[in-house]
Structure 1
């Protein structure tokens, strides 16, 4: 597409003109041509006025000067018509070339002929400009008019000027020059028009290809980011925008390091070593687990890079479905093969305790049997709860009311002083979660916090706040000794526990229930105490 002229200075393009079929460049060229015409006439007038014995106008200086002034006035009118674009473009170029032929022929006559003044050469520039501006239209006609004008002037001078020697040879050579310039300008204009048409078609093809590429990119299930060598985001699709939560001001050429520093860090690592294998990345802003892949656009690590963000949530969903199916079968077997024998053992131990003939030393053994059957039964109950995680029913929960009710219920059930809890809630937050699942998650976290805290006023902190409009986090913090850094990698594994009386399923079940509600549970390291964070969806 041809760029319009600057909106400053003398030239002011007019939109919505009748000559809608002509491009802005044609009018700009015609404007420049008229500037040239005005400058030529002004120079001619200045030479006539300032030089004492000028060659120009030697035959009749006074009429030459008046003709030049009328010529300047006509070129000024032509400039005004170009600015208002009236009449049509083709009419304007025809009128201007014809006026150039007429006035230059008159100036040649008043200057004593072709050889003495040399003004006839000015028509060469006018014909060349007309050919380029009008793309060769009527160019041979303009050359014919110029040739006829020069020949008529030569004939008139020969007939009415005494002592004048005919210069038909020079007039013929000049006329041949007019046709030669016209032909060359026509060929150049034709080539230029073909080049412009080809460039226009190539531009359309490139625009169509770019649009097709954009449609393909937008339709991809993976997030796509194109980053140049300076770290600017050149292009992205909607999925990438959602994954890393691009701000509106970064939608066009934002810096990757400002918007997604975790990706910028990986990109720099990849540029240093393209064979680096990266682990899965959990994007903090969207809490999405992704697989990152970097591909250089031009084959070099310093060139533009395409970053593919493969959302692993669908893979997790498939894995979870397989796991739940297997877990469902496992829990059925546990219910029949373990729970029923446990009930028999527990019932038998109760009967033995009621037997008056049992000796006192056996009561200790019966207590061990009773405690271990309760522990095994609790493990079975926890495993059975995992089979219910796929039955999550999302509901809108008022965060502040839910926390207050939960704390009262937890303290009453566990027989804990309510002053142990310190609650901080910033604003009104509505959480999208299964109410039973959220209760169980908090119960497991608070139970662990109570077990390890100092059991003082405010030892357990509950913080409810928002990261963004649709992401809400709930923190459970205690003032206990914290978790050994060596155990962090196994913290959410099933049956991993640091307490002899624990089952090792509490945190595992809590995380599974969070994932069933499109939420996440993570542990945040801190110098003292433990800090668990649940990030869930808002309303």
Structure 2
């Protein structure tokens, strides 16, 4: 492996090895100087040149150890460690030559192995073998110098140098292979750690934004992990520390039983469970479970098995499906209504022309029936097409801050003028409260609600009430109240659905359009049975309440309405 092509992770590993070798060289230099001083104290023949050489080698190792360098492996500037290997070989050779001159009973040839080891670990294959070759040549040169200077037989010295050099080659090769393998493993471990961190971050992000609730349970019924949707379903705070036990809460016993069944059968499970909350409607969840394990391969620790649960609120699922069906039905109905309008207009016109020539009373009654039912079909067709118009208006609508009492008073006056025989009582209590709404849309909502209320109200003078309320810190509301009979429960469940009506002559689109307009402006519309204190006593009635979103803008300020998906 070429050090110049190492990845950043491998380069950092090599840098740590280089730093370790620098520290080892300092320790070797300190040991040499300490041995020489100890030998001098014991009366051994240690010359000043030996002490000076040891001190110089220590100074060189300390200087290189304290040399400023980057944290990464200096692959593009390898001269520091290459020079250090050369300095070590020359220093050990010089010490050995000085030892020969003083007849000191100390051999420095084993230190050559340190330089060879450093070349094998830090360098590539050529540097490793080159270091071993240089050390071998220096040993052979020392053997020759010994024989030439002493005039003795040098065969044994040459053989010893050759054997030692062979060992250096083996050490250099093995050290290089081990270092290469170590750096490769470090690089692989670093890549695996990065991949694990990335996977954990992605999993956390997915769990935080997935629409289903996710629970991770251990065999003891403790929640090891839960995403925000699951915490909301469990009515728990998001900052609650994990893990927390699920067993003490008896409401969640069906989940514990399903987790236990999953662990016992070692296979995935799917079931619909009902969770009962005191004072609330039952929560029906569709639960799917999978069994996983955090134990290492071959481990038999069953407590490490975890049960992963996906929780889906069936009410939300049904609502999404119902919305999709209604959207598809609305598109189809609009297309059908558009196609019906032209032939229906031809039928109405032909019937009017035919009625001019009819004199028989029976035939005139039949013509009147045709005209009446044709007009009814025309109204239904216009209501269906009106949905598309309303959606277009909502997509291009802008709103401004309105003074609620003033806007409601104008709309009530216009409605009263169009219905002279019906009285509406105004209770304007909003006190200059401002609301964010499109004026024409507000008119459309209130007129529709007043029409419905007047249809079912009694003939009393106070049978129809229009009430506004608003105070600091609370959203403003406008309520249309009538003293009509209570709605059936079956009617209340489908009150704001399109094409639903309790009357055969109604298209069932009025309240649906009102709710769509309210949601578009961030408001809500709901129905409730409410009692009012009137002059004739306490009277129960039907109340449709429009609750506006808060606004702090002045009455004349205008802005583009925030986008709200309907």
Give the TM interval when normalised to the shorter protein.
0.5 to 0.7
Is residue 58–residue 110 contact of structure 1 (8 Å, CA) maintained in 2? no
TM-score by length of 1: 0.57
Residue 201 of structure 1, CA deviation: 9.8
Q: Match for 1:275 among 270, 276, 283?
A: 270
Is residue 295–residue 306 contact of structure 1 (8 Å, CA) maintained in 2? no
Q: Match for 2:387 among 386, 389, 399?
A: 389
Give the corresponding residue for 2:171.
181
Change (3 A) 1:423 1:523: farther
Q: How does 1:274-353 map to 2 (within 5 A)?
A: 275-276=270-271, 302-303=307-308, 317-328=327-338
Give the corresponding residue for 1:370.
none
Q: Match for 1:233 among 178, 202, 205?
A: 205
Residue 49 of structure 1, CA deviation: 3.6
Q: How does 1:4-403 map to 2 (within 5 A)?
A: 23-49=11-37, 60=46, 62-81=48-67, 83=69, 89-110=77-98, 117=106, 119-160=108-149, 167-189=157-179, 191=181, 232-234=204-206, 256-257=227-228, 261=232, 275-276=270-271, 302-303=307-308, 317-328=327-338, 381=379, 384-391=382-389, 392-393=392-393, 394-400=396-402
Q: Match for 1:413 among 410, 415, 431?
A: 415
Residue 94 of structure 1, CA deviation: 1.7
CA distance in 1, matches of 2:16, 2:185: 19
Change (3 A) 1:525 1:65: farther
Secondary structure of 1:326's counterpart equals helix
Give the corresponding residue for 1:460.
467
Is residue 116–residue 172 contact of structure 2 (8 Å, CA) maintained in 1? yes
Q: Match for 2:495 among 472, 491, 495?
A: 491
Residue 121 of structure 1, CA deviation: 2.9
Residue 322 of structure 1, CA deviation: 0.9
Is residue 298–residue 304 contact of structure 1 (8 Å, CA) maintained in 2? no
CA distance in 2, matches of 1:464, 1:395: 27
* Structure 1, 397-406 or 28-37: larger mean CA deviation: 397-406
Count of paired positions: 436
Give the corresponding residue for 1:363.
none
Residue 504 of structure 1, CA deviation: 5.9
Is residue 27–residue 82 contact of structure 1 (8 Å, CA) maintained in 2? no
Residue 163 of structure 1, CA deviation: 9.9
> Could you report, residue by residue, the CA deviation over 1:437-463 in whole angstroms, capped at 9, with x for unpaired residues?
543223334666798899799973467
* Structure 1, 328-337 or 92-101: larger mean CA deviation: 328-337
CA distance in 1, matches of 2:103, 2:309: 64
Change (3 A) 1:186 1:500: closer
Change (3 A) 1:50 1:478: farther
Q: Match for 2:511 among 501, 504, 507?
A: 507
Secondary structure of 1:89's counterpart equals coil
Secondary structure of 1:127's counterpart equals helix
Residue 86 of structure 1, CA deviation: 9.0
Change (3 A) 1:82 1:503: closer
Change (3 A) 1:459 1:522: closer
Is residue 474–residue 534 contact of structure 1 (8 Å, CA) maintained in 2? yes
Residue 74 of structure 1, CA deviation: 1.2
Is residue 120–residue 128 contact of structure 2 (8 Å, CA) maintained in 1? yes
TM-score by length of 2: 0.55
Residue 181 of structure 1, CA deviation: 0.9
Secondary structure of 2:270's counterpart equals coil
Residue 140 of structure 1, CA deviation: 1.4
Gaps of 5+ in 1: 1-19, 214-224, 245-253, 280-291, 346-350, 352-372, 468-472
Is residue 44–residue 104 contact of structure 2 (8 Å, CA) maintained in 1? no
Secondary structure of 1:321's counterpart equals helix
Residue 507 of structure 1, CA deviation: 1.7
Give the corresponding residue for 1:358.
none
Give the corresponding residue for 1:354.
none
Secondary structure of 1:123's counterpart equals helix
Residue 275 of structure 1, CA deviation: 2.3
Secondary structure of 2:125's counterpart equals coil
Is residue 116–residue 168 contact of structure 2 (8 Å, CA) maintained in 1? yes
Gaps of 5+ in 2: 1-7, 214-224, 237-245, 247-251, 259-268, 275-285, 294-304, 356-360, 362-370, 417-422, 532-542, 550-559
Change (3 A) 1:255 1:199: closer
CA distance in 1, matches of 2:504, 2:311: 50
